Structure 1
Amino acid sequence: MTTGRATAPAPARPGRTRGRSALRAAAPALLAYAAVRAIGLLILTLWTAGGEDSAHALLAERWDAVWYARIAEDGYGYTAHLGERTEHDLAFFPLFPALERALATVLPLSVPDAGLAVSWTAGLAAAWGLYAVAFLLTRRRAVGVVLAALWAAVPPAFVQSMAYTETLFTALAAWALYAVLTGRWYPAAALAVAAGLTRPSGLAVVAAVLAGGALELWRRRRADPRVLAAMALAPLGWLGYVGYVGVRLAGPTAYFDVQKDWGNGFDGGVGFTRFVLTRLRTDPGHGLLILTLLACGTALLIQCVRQRQPLPLLVYTLLIAASALVSESYFASRPRLLMPAFPLLLPLATWLVRLPRPATTAALLAASLGSGGYGTWFLLTQSPP
């Protein structure tokens, strides 16, 4: 028997309401990001239609994606012997393959498809994080939208559509930086731990948390247990995995030895300098292009400083750039290793939103088409990204 009285709806939880509001605000950035990546995928699909290599195979079943899938399926322990070189799967950090395995376990997906699902979902999370950081710093939603679109349209952005770790790492880094800038120290530490389990460059996220924590302690002139705890916890992911490799291979420097076997040892930039000089001598056009890109990157970094970006962002950007340029070889992969340095794009995004909207839209569309064409050409003709 009913009483005829209407039942009042349960009040929404404040945290859930804020989350939905934040997602609605970020929706244009997520849509812009998805649209740019869809253009790249469309170009790749049309270009490869009827060819030997399908778009799916290129995105999910090649190069590093194969290593991650093998770890997800069988765990660590595989070693490839290529002439005098030995390539061990311990060079790859564990979070991405762990997510692949978990997703393939609970959903009817193959491990490669689970890798794509992780990467594409993380790409949206990264776009949201970029929007959040940009809006926090500029208080302009349009800057966040353009920043997300720009990041989706940089030349190596085709990797964002592959079963690679770049989107996952950038998502964790962006939200860790946002947590530091907003004083959410425990989430910042947790995200730094996760980033440290994703890529070697997780150290850049750790350094950003440490820099932000040190600055906060200096401002307060007193110890804050939350800040100190975050600073202590942040390195544990990276240190934990490097320590695991050391124990497994019975050597304190085992992880660095594994990287050196892959040709990714750190040499302070000597190898990269030699590579550029060789290109200038044997292929001047390519060499001058590299120098031009380096000059543009340096100019953007200077603009980041002039824009007065917070110290954690500057520390993070510098270390990502340094980690991409100081290894011995695999120079074709340097652009994708630089891709997580999204604060470099913030001055450009700020400038673009000052243009008339048709001009901004046209610039982003041109960048999207160029990125899609370049990515397809690279995947079909060049060495592993």
Structure 2
Amino acid sequence: MDVVTTKGPSPLAAPAPAADRHRPGLARRLRAAARDAAPALAVYALVRLVGLLAVYAWARSRGVSAVRELTDADATYYLDIARRGYDGYPRVQSDMAFFPLYPTLVGAVDRVSPLGPRAAGLVVAALAGVAAAWALYAIGTYLHDRRTGVVLAALWAALPHAVVESMAYSETLFTALAAWSLYALLRRHWLTAGVLCLFAGLTRPTASSLIPVVGLAALIAIVRRRDGWRPWAAALLAPAGWLGYLAWVGTQTGRLDGWFHIQSAGWHSQFDFGVYTFRRGREVLAHSAAPQLLVVSVVLLLAVTLFVLSLLDRQPWQLLLFSALMLVTTLGAAGYYHSKARFLLPAFALLLPAAAGLARAGRARAVTVLVALTAFSTYFGGYLLLVWTRSP
């Protein structure tokens, strides 16, 4: 074997352009990253577009507005907050149960564009969904390979309750912030992880599943004397948004546990260590039940199974802890059994074993499975909006 060695650039080589002799700027890095993630973003957008077109056709056949259906149920609270702010306390079901970042962004888009609040809510959710799919691709690629990243984004787009990703809900925004925060954590980008966790804490109460992950990772780095002051900053930033909003609600209600009181007294939601979920699930599986409740029961069983597979696959502990806490907060809370599958949408790491397996199975098999899942997700999304009479 011939080995060629050089001690410098070839005299025949053209000099590198000045821009290439320096570290690429942020804009250039973003463009390169976007080109790299383009297949995943395209697949995600295609799956969600199919679902939206089906909802539009189904709604039109029934003489109702697809936009109205996509901005109904919990979305009405978000849109009211975006238009008028919080309604104050007391109220039987105070809208202070809903965290502020998503409606704040919707209100900002509504004010600077001609879209109107409903369209603004859908646009913000859609853009956040793309950002979430990008983060899922980045994590799948970082832990496995590009094909796994693409499949992971596609699986998330084709979940049974994925229609929520196209509604004026906060799940896509929270998933994007949580996934990018975890990706930054895996790469030890402490400030990015802390800031994104702060914003996640202003988006959904389930940031309580993300904050301990960032905090524990920072604590480990501090004890091991790694990365200087940055883990300290991440540890301080991570809970700031979540605690800040709870503190504000406490001042509005005049009680330290104000937000939890609203959840319990107004929304009948409290933590009972899974007693309600177990009893309700047993009733659903033992008696005739609506398809929505049956699908929720299957999703919950699959989520637990996928978590076990994640353990066997030895996922990074940061993802395992996030998934475990998401499962605990979702399964352990009483009430809203019909929405528990939606609450697990941000638990994207549970899909990694399936994504890695499909990626290894080959393109034809992966496409076949994804098409089948997309078909079911498309039908079920229409069912949730146009047949089911309660929130997804």
What TM-score, normalized by structure 2, do the two folds share?
0.90
Q: Which amino acid aligns with 1:325?
A: L
CA offset digits 1:173-219 (Å, max 9, x no partner) = 0100011111111111110010000000011121221122233334x
* CA distance, structure 2, for counterparts of residue 238 and residue 314 of structure 1: 21
* CA distance, structure 2, for counterparts of residue 141 and residue 152 of structure 1: 17
TM-superposed CA distance for 1:291, in Å, is 5.6
* Compared CA separation, residues 51 and 294, structure 1 to 2 (3 A): closer
Aligned to 1:11: 19
* CA distance, structure 2, for counterparts of residue 264 and residue 349 of structure 1: 33
Residue 160 (str. 1) matches residue 165 (str. 2): yes
CA offset digits 1:308-335 (Å, max 9, x no partner) = 2111111111111111112221111100
From 77, 96, 102, the counterpart of 2:102: 96
Do the aligned residues in 1 keep the contact of 2:88 with 2:252 (CA within 8 Å)? Answer: no
Q: Secondary structure at the match of 2:115?
A: coil
Do the aligned residues in 2 keep the contact of 1:120 with 1:160 (CA within 8 Å)? Answer: yes
Aligned to 2:316: 310
The size of the alignment, in residue pairs, is: 371
* Compared CA separation, residues 29 and 366, structure 1 to 2 (3 A): same
CA offset digits 1:89-133 (Å, max 9, x no partner) = 100000001001111111111111111010000000000000111
* Compared CA separation, residues 78 and 67, structure 1 to 2 (3 A): farther
Q: Secondary structure at the match of 1:186?
A: helix
> Aligned-pair RMSD on alpha carbons?
2.1
From 59, 63, 69, the counterpart of 2:70: 59
* CA distance, structure 1, for counterparts of residue 288 and residue 258 of structure 2: 37
Residue 27 (str. 1) matches residue 38 (str. 2): yes
Residue 236 (str. 1) matches residue 243 (str. 2): no
TM-superposed CA distance for 1:290, in Å, is 5.8
Q: Secondary structure at the match of 2:162?
A: helix
CA offset digits 1:202-247 (Å, max 9, x no partner) = 11121221122233334x3568311012112110000000000000
TM-superposed CA distance for 1:56, in Å, is 1.0
Q: Which amino acid aligns with 2:304?
A: T
* CA distance, structure 1, for counterparts of residue 287 and residue 148 of structure 2: 41
Q: Secondary structure at the match of 1:49?
A: helix
CA offset digits 1:325-346 (Å, max 9, x no partner) = 1222111110010111000101
Q: Secondary structure at the match of 1:361?
A: helix
* Compared CA separation, residues 21 and 66, structure 1 to 2 (3 A): same
CA offset digits 1:324-376 (Å, max 9, x no partner) = 11222111110010111000101101000112312211111111111010110
Unaligned runs of 5+ in 1: 1-7
* Compared CA separation, residues 234 and 371, structure 1 to 2 (3 A): same
Q: Which amino acid aligns with 2:114?
A: P
Residue 264 (str. 1) matches residue 269 (str. 2): yes
Structural mapping, 1:336-355, within 5 Å: 336-355=342-361
* CA distance, structure 1, for counterparts of residue 115 and residue 297 of structure 2: 43
TM-superposed CA distance for 1:54, in Å, is 1.8
Aligned to 2:381: 375
TM-superposed CA distance for 1:282, in Å, is 3.1
Do the aligned residues in 1 keep the contact of 2:90 with 2:253 (CA within 8 Å)? Answer: no
Q: Which amino acid aligns with 1:115?
A: G
TM-superposed CA distance for 1:289, in Å, is 6.3
Worse overlay, 282-291 or 248-257 = 282-291
Aligned to 1:209: 214
* CA distance, structure 2, for counterparts of residue 90 and residue 344 of structure 1: 30
Do the aligned residues in 2 keep the contact of 1:211 with 1:315 (CA within 8 Å)? Answer: no
Q: Which amino acid aligns with 1:334?
A: K
* Compared CA separation, residues 119 and 89, structure 1 to 2 (3 A): same
Aligned to 2:130: 124
TM-superposed CA distance for 1:271, in Å, is 1.4
Worse overlay, 67-76 or 297-306 = 297-306
* Compared CA separation, residues 283 and 80, structure 1 to 2 (3 A): farther
* CA distance, structure 1, for counterparts of residue 105 and residue 254 of structure 2: 27
Residue 43 (str. 1) matches residue 54 (str. 2): yes
Aligned to 2:327: 321
* CA distance, structure 2, for counterparts of residue 211 and residue 52 of structure 1: 52
Residue 71 (str. 1) matches residue 71 (str. 2): no
From 199, 204, 212, the counterpart of 2:204: 199
From 175, 180, 184, the counterpart of 2:185: 180
* Compared CA separation, residues 46 and 292, structure 1 to 2 (3 A): closer
* CA distance, structure 2, for counterparts of residue 222 and residue 162 of structure 1: 42
Q: Secondary structure at the match of 1:251?
A: coil
Q: Which amino acid aligns with 2:213?
A: A
What TM-score, normalized by structure 1, do the two folds share?
0.91
* Compared CA separation, residues 280 and 347, structure 1 to 2 (3 A): closer
Q: Secondary structure at the match of 2:87?
A: coil
Identity over aligned residues, as a percent? 42
Q: Which amino acid aligns with 1:46?
A: A
Do the aligned residues in 2 keep the contact of 1:72 with 1:98 (CA within 8 Å)? Answer: yes
TM-superposed CA distance for 1:50, in Å, is 3.5
* Compared CA separation, residues 191 and 106, structure 1 to 2 (3 A): same
TM-superposed CA distance for 1:55, in Å, is 1.2
* CA distance, structure 2, for counterparts of residue 128 and residue 43 of structure 1: 24
Q: Which amino acid aligns with 1:43?
A: A
Worse overlay, 285-294 or 356-365 = 285-294
Q: Secondary structure at the match of 1:155?
A: coil
